Chains A and B, each alone.
Chain A
Amino acid sequence: MEDEKIRVLMSKPGIDGHWRGGIVVSRVLRDAGMELIFGGFQNIEQCVESAIQEDVDVIGLSIHSGAHIAYTKRLIELLEEKGLKDQFLILVGGVIPAQDFTELKEMGVANVYGPGTMTGDIVKFIREKVKK
């Protein structure tokens, strides 16, 4: 029988040329047996539409532009508008200062991964939260 796979969307909202982090984490998730949909540069509307059409379990935002609060806020708002806020595990990674972690989590982000994150921790966290 075919087993269900954890599906993850990796999205880079806005104009932000720093691809490396998003690619590395995507690759780690691929190697952990997940199906990673690489969204690349997307605005938040495109990100949400991709998450819907791909029926993913996890939305990952990779942000290095300093605009993580604004983009994440917009994401949560749009998901709420569509009644989909509880459908996805939302993760944010990139150059995120530690003092912003709490604010992001209060918005509804499940976890935040700043510089120095061990990639294995991301895998472990997703596997714990997404039961498949």
Chain B
Amino acid sequence: MKYDIDTLIGDFKKKDKIALARLISIIENHPEKASVIFNNFNQIKHDSYIIGITGSPGVGKSTLIGAIAKKLLEDGKSVGIISVDPTSPFSGGAFLGDRVRMTEISLHPNIFIRSLASRGYRGGISRAVLDITLLYEAFGMDLILIETVGVGQSEFDIYNLAYTIVVVMVPGYGDAIQMQKAGIIEIGDIYDVNKKDLGGDDIAAHIDMMLDDSTFNQTGWRPPVAMTNSITGEGVDELIEYIFDHKEHQELSALIKERKKKRFAYKVRELLYNKIDHVLESLISQEEINDISTKAIDNKFQIYDNVHDLFSDVKFERKKKE
């Protein structure tokens, strides 16, 4: 390891951004070190408010986050941004092109922007995102903005991490049928039709209808629909107002507690899955997977039996603690 954790923690507590950046790297590359780092923060009681921004590739999430953050900074808030872009399944590399949309705010003393590659993690974020939100909280950020990768219909892990979800769409997104589908379209606390200079009244109307038809949401919050042009900043004030309305709505009820609990339940599952992943890797080799898949080319209907046979002797159970 390149850095000494104790020195970094000392600098971090003096609000040194270099230390924050390096701790993020450690947590991203060596998750096993996270508990050592976090044990230094037990005295810190600060909570940040976490906002998730999600939507398809190219709808303008990064530019919108830049515009939102700019206003929040003007209001004297401190803001931590996490922007995730996909890792290539072929090379393992990534082209992280979100920060480039936020250059205008990048020198403000109260902002910190970190780009992350998804590193094989599914669900629209990366494994390290939750841990980085904890680091931002320890650093004292008022607000945290998480930008997911450009998502399709079913990558909605962000729902477990953020307290307010903004689903961003653009003119031409789809018709009333698209709006009825399950998944990403359901998770918004706020919907935003970005690039409003291109139109989008029809999309906003379809979203409104979808929301009016919903019989599922029992929280007393009817998600509002904003329309923005994140390059000119049009509509961004209104969107921020909606975000703070939603924050207040949750804080006045017990909802915020539920959201916070959800965040940690997600972490518990992640840690457990991580353990199981290691077990699985030790149970089956790449050759065996290769072997079964090759056999399946000629015997495709036996794929279930072949896999079951291989693992018939495997049993998971939790050891009783003495």
Contacts and interface: CB of A to CB of B under 8 A. Distances in A.
B9 interface: no
Contacts of A37: 96, 99, 115
B182 to A, nearest CB: 31
B21 A35 contact: no
A38 interface: yes
B22 to A, nearest CB: 6
A40 interface: yes
B272 to A, nearest CB: 17
Contact of A33 (B22, B92, B96): B92
Contact of A5 (B90, B112, B117): B117
Interface in B115-152: 115, 117, 119, 127
B215 interface: no
B29 A2 contact: yes
B107 interface: yes
22 contacts: A4-B29, A5-B92, A5-B93, A29-B93, A30-B95, A31-B88, A35-B87, A35-B96, A36-B94, A36-B96, A37-B115, A38-B95, A38-B97, A38-B99, A39-B100, A40-B103, A42-B103, A46-B103, A49-B106, A52-B17, A52-B18, A53-B114
A88 to B, nearest CB: 12
Nearest to B28: A2
Interface of B: 17-18, 20-22, 24-25, 28-29, 31, 87-88, 90-97, 99-100, 103, 106-107, 112-115, 117, 119, 127
Contacts of A27: 95
A53 B17 contact: yes
A35 B103 CA distance: 19
Contacts of A3: 29
Interface string A44-87: 01100110111100000000000000000000000000001000
Residue of B28, B99, B114 with highest tally of chain A CB at under 10 A? B99
Dominant secondary structure of chain A at its interface with chain B: mixed
B115 A54 contact: yes
B127 to A, nearest CB: 8
Interface in A2-41: 2-5, 26-27, 29-41
A42 B22 CA distance: 22
Interface residues of A, number: 29
B94 A35 contact: yes
A39 B99 contact: yes
Contact of B96 (A2, A32, A38, A53): A38
Contacts of A53: 17, 20-21, 112-114
B103 A41 contact: yes
B297 to A, nearest CB: 30
Nearest to B106: A46
Contact of B91 (A26, A32, A42, A50): A32
Contacts of A2: 28-29, 31, 119, 127
A26 B85 CA distance: 15
A87 to B, nearest CB: 9
A36 B95 contact: yes
